[in-house]
Amino acid sequence: MSPGHGEDSAPAPVPAPRDRTGAPPPGAPADPSDTGGTSDGGTSDAGAGGPDAPAATRTSMFSSLRIRNYRIFALGQAVSNTGTWMQRIAQDWLVLSLTGSATAVGVTTALQFLPMLLFGLWGGVIADRCAKRKVLLVTQSAMGLTGLVLAALTLSGHVHVTHVYVLAFALGLATVVDNPTRQTFVAELVGPDQLRNAVSLNSANFQSARLVGPAVAGVLITAVGSGWAFLLNGLSFLAPLAGLLLMRTDEMHPTERAPRTKGQLREGLSYVRTHPELLWPIVLVGFVGTFGYNFPIWLTAFTDRVFDSGAGTYGLLNTLMAVGSVTGALLAARRSSSSMRLMVGAAVLFGLLLGLAAVTPWFWLFAALMLPAGAMGLTFNVTANASVQLASDPVMRGRVMSLYMMVFVGGTPIGGPLMGWITDSYGPRAGLLAGAFISAAVAVAVGFALARASGLRVRVRVGRGPGGGRGVVFEPREAPEAAGTDAVETDEVATDAGPGRERRTAGRLSA
């Protein structure tokens, strides 16, 4: 059982002060959370220091799979995710075949995610109020049904682009509730100690299906048409439904449900607004999700108009990006903690890699860049997702994650048509370059905002000072200029309104 609201919300200990060598002063108590840092930037931060944050310990890559309920859940999701990727590829290609327009592909994607933008926060309220396993039985059934209906229309030869639009919107309505419920249900399956690992494996699961789904979809589209891909996707939802029914409820870690009271939407928004370690990652996720993750538009356009190829090449590009994404997710699963610096750095590199892909004239280089772009995109996504979940109070987690998913995928109704219009009007290269620039620029801006929230300032050292080092460094805002101290890692702890409540701000952001 959950230890309850108060215990889950216990503040993290404040690290003991250190001198320039990193050692605590004589007589200071040892900091039990100090791991000495890692070479991959995996230092604890605000995202790792939230209410449910476990102690920083070495995590094996597949440790959460030792839990029976999570194994069943992961297996069902693997089957369903494969079907989902098949439908994504087949749906994009079907719309392009029916209309010949990249904008129409963007409209389809926008309609699928428009319900998340309109009603996303309500999905979080339902996730916080209701039994998550029962909710998932309903939402997964509804999502499977949309695939079966689209299959029937396509195989019968009566499909029209309007049908695709309507069913995409219906799928989006089910996703409004399914997404935050499924995200937070993982915590009930594995508990807080394995949550970060489970989130990473979920992403690896989804992206591994991306290796199989597009390849199978490409073969089916070429051989027998899109309808069979839709049919297999609808049937694939039987796997997660069976998994939910086979779970042992007495082995779960149920969290406290939010009471049915008024003002819960405002409460969730206020909670995020007053916690910088939640607010700024969600802002960055919103911009990258809206403008940087429009691959159905860009890859179809590059395949058709730049490289003059067909569905097989489109599937290949998706598969290459998935290989990189799986690599990024599995590497994230090995980390016992995440840093805000890692999140921001991955977003910046993601934007730069997309920009390079946009201007390269060679197909082989464009295809090769999908690997690191996928890895950086997933590293950013997993780090932000796990950090936000662990920094949230369990009773608020559904609403926090609904806002996270709302800005991540709910911005697609804005970004999808806009990127589609730029792609149609100015060419695929201009569309991809626009998304790349926005992603990288906002990541840099959020990095400065997080540094400011942590009480740090940025300095550019052009020569070696008394403390050594050069380049861009973060250092305490109040540090004396003449002290010559190096950039340090800080964990500012601020007090919220209300008795006994504390929060970590943006966390360790040293360079």
Confidence (pLDDT) at 437? 94
Of the ranges 33-37, 78-82, 250-254, the best mean pLDDT one: 78-82
CA distance 461 to 486: 11
Which whole-number Å values give the CA distances from 4 to 54, 106, 214, 508, in the listed order? 16, 44, 44, 28
Task: Provide the pLDDT confidence category of residue 141 given band limits of 50, 70 and 90.
Answer: very high
pLDDT over 70 at 476, yes or no: no
Task: Provide the pLDDT confidence category of residue 74 given band limits of 50, 70 and 90.
Answer: very high
More confident residue, 485 or 393: 393
| Nearest alpha-carbon partner for 382 in 443, 332, 347, 336 | 332
Using an 8 Å Cβ cutoff, are 55 and 12 in contact? no
Confidence (pLDDT) at 251? 87
pLDDT over 80 at 446, yes or no: yes
Beta strand pairing status for 471-476 and 502-504? unpaired
- 3-state SS, one letter per residue, for 259-321: CCCCCHHHHHHHHHHCCHHHHHHHHHHHHHHHHCCCHHHHHHHHHHHHCCCCHHHHHHHHHHH
φ, ψ dihedrals at 502, nearest 5°: -135, 160
| Nearest alpha-carbon partner for 129 in 397, 483, 443 | 397
Confidence (pLDDT) at 167? 93
* pTM, 2 dp: 0.63
Task: Provide the pLDDT confidence category of residue 217 given band limits of 50, 70 and 90.
Answer: confident
Once rounded to an integer, what is the mean pLDDT over residues 444-471?
66
More confident residue, 473 or 3: 473
More confident residue, 208 or 112: 112
pLDDT over 80 at 244, yes or no: yes
Dihedral of alpha carbons 367, 371, 374, 376, sign: negative
To the nearest whole number, what is the mean pLDDT of the chain?
Answer: 75
Share of the chain above pLDDT 70, in %: 73
φ/ψ region of 275 (left if φ > 0, alpha if ψ in -120 to 50, else beta) reads: beta
Q: Which of 166-180, 203-217, 348-362, 396-410 has the lowest mean pLDDT?
A: 203-217
> What are 29-52's pLDDT values in tens digits?
444 333 333 333 333 333 334 444
Using an 8 Å Cβ cutoff, are 296 and 170 in contact? no
CA distance 140 to 138: 6
Confidence (pLDDT) at 290? 87
Confidence (pLDDT) at 439? 92
Size (the chain), residues: 511
CA distance 329 to 380: 10
CA distance 461 to 268: 41
Strand, coil or helix: 355: helix
pLDDT over 60 at 503, yes or no: no
For the range 256-264, what are the long-range contacts, defined as Cβ-Cβ under 8 Å and sequence gap of 24 or more? 256/2, 256/4, 256/5, 256/8, 256/394, 256/395, 257/128, 257/129, 257/130, 257/395, 258/125, 258/128, 258/129, 258/395, 258/396, 258/398, 258/399, 259/129, 260/129, 264/125, 264/128, 264/399
Pinpoint the alpha helices (H) of 4-101.
Answer: 5-8, 68-99
More confident residue, 213 or 1: 213
Confidence (pLDDT) at 367? 92
Pinpoint the alpha helices (H) of 100-131.
Answer: 102-129
Of the ranges 113-127, 163-177, 271-285, 380-394, the best mean pLDDT one: 163-177
Write out the two tokens for 465.
């000072």
Q: Give the Cβ contact number of residue 41 at 10 Å.
A: 20
Using an 8 Å Cβ cutoff, are 379 and 41 in contact? no
Confidence (pLDDT) at 366? 93
Of the ranges 4-8, 113-117, 184-188, the best mean pLDDT one: 184-188
Once rounded to an integer, what is the mean pLDDT over residues 106-133?
82
